Amino acid sequence: MAIEQIKMPQLGESVTEGTISKWLVSVGDKVNKYDPLAEVMTDKVNAEVPSSFTGVIKELIAEEGETYEVGQVILTIETEGGGEAAPAAASEPKTEEKTAPVQSAGNAAASAPAAPAKAESPKGVRYSPAVLKLSQEHGIDLNQVTGTGGGGRITRKDLMKVIESGNIPTADTAPAAPSQTEAPAAAAAPSAPAAPAKQAAPAPNVPVMPGDIEIPVTGVRKAIAANMLRSKHEAPHAWTMMEVDVTSLVEYRNSIKGEFKQKEGFNLTFFAFFVKAVAQALKEFPQINSMWAGDKIIQKKDINISIAVATDDALFVPVIKAADEKTIKGIAREINELAVKVRTGKLTSAEMQGGTFTVNNTGSFGSVQSMGIINYPQAAILQVESIVKRPVVMNNGMIAVRDMVNLCMSLDHRVLDGLVCGRFLQRVKEILENTAKENTSVY
């Protein structure tokens, strides 16, 4: 017999932790390699963690609702004669609709870990949503609770023990600081106490009236909210807009869309032309294809375009890799394939990683002007609005009806300034306004 460990996997680029939203197994359960063990939620994706071994569940170390760092042990499995870790190219585990599957991520280790020792919560600790909610409901001062989770984290189980004891520590019951005449117990002067961790603001008390409908917040919606909040809090957003005359592009696409659909089997959308133009402009303005990394800016070599695809209750952002190397036809095919995968629940986490710039097709639902939230940690996002016919004053002073579209760009002002973004948008505008049957091929 051997005891093997399953650790918290990295479920996306720049993801450093995940929350156990639900265990799918119990202690004593027999599992096979690749069987799902738990549902994990991050700020990028919801996924099932598969088993790397065949054996019997020995211990569930992680708690539901608790957040753990990548690489932290979440459970142990007892195997016969040692287990073999799943290969990187393993087939994708089954996932529920609207969740992205991940590859198996367990690492073998020698023996079961010892029970975590009690320790004070480290400075800057982040409490899980379950812990925050429970503490707010019962008025518990978390600074007075000793956590037994990994790294001294306070778990839901810790709070339940406090509640059951009836001795609930509140802010009013915090021990008073010793007077100047009282000598400290230790000879050495104690270090200054760590500042309390910043807690999420309590949920507003919204009255529920007859006829109102309460809709539970799903894990996917929580992940979207967390990532959007992080982006708005950390990245100083600036915004700019430019209008583009795409009359020639519209005429060209409309003239070939029927033949293209019959020949290729999928639609040639306007969006494919916009993504191609953006990819070409990013190659000429590589500063836009950058990310903020604290003490440095990382200018990415690869041009990988993230595109937003919405379902009824969630938003996914798959990535078109090496978009600058693809034709308009190739981009159109990939847009179609990724959208189908999103709506059938077959999109993998790997297909949402590596994006360097986001293009959002807000025009698909009639929007003509919007300000997007940057897809963290990227430096910018471009909203392609609806193409509408408008009267335009031409160079000769005559008024003509033209097909016009607004391109709206949000940028991280730590990374980018208005000058380079203005030149970038001017280049995208130039490419689009010169897209016509005479000089553009979709192949």
> Which positions are annotated as active-site residues?
413, 417
Would residue 342 be called left, alpha or beta, if left means φ above 0 and alpha means ψ between -120 and 50 degrees?
alpha
- Residue in the block written with tokens 């569930």: 60
| HEC assignment per residue over 48-100 | EEECCCCEEEEEECCCCCCEEECCCEEEEEEECCCCCCCCCCCCCCCCCCCCC
Q: Looking at the DSSP assignment, which residues form a beta bridge with residue 120?
A: none
Report residue 276 as tokens: 């191609």
CA dist., res. 336 & res. 248, Å (int): 24
Length of the chain measured in residues: 443
How far apart, in whole angstroms, are the C-alpha atoms of residue 39 and residue 41?
Answer: 7
Closest alpha carbon to 363 in 380, 385, 344? 385
Please state at what angle helix 270-284 crosses helix 418-433, rounded to 10 degrees.
130
Structure tokens, 345: 């629940």
Exposure b/e, 262-293, CB count within 10 A at least 16 = b: eeeeeebbbbbbbbbbbbebbeebebbbbbbe
Please give the biggest Cα pair distance in the chain: 91
Cα gap 132→126, rounded to integer Å:
10
Report which secondary-structure segment, H or E, holds 138. Answer: helix 129-138
Give CA torsion, residues 53, 55, 61, 66, to 10 deg.
Answer: 60
Cis peptide before 377 (omega within 30 of 0): yes
Q: Which of 388, 267, 386, 377 is nearest to 333 (CA)?
A: 267
| Residue partners of 161: CB distance under 8 A and separation at least 6 | none
Distance CA 345, CA 335 (A): 15
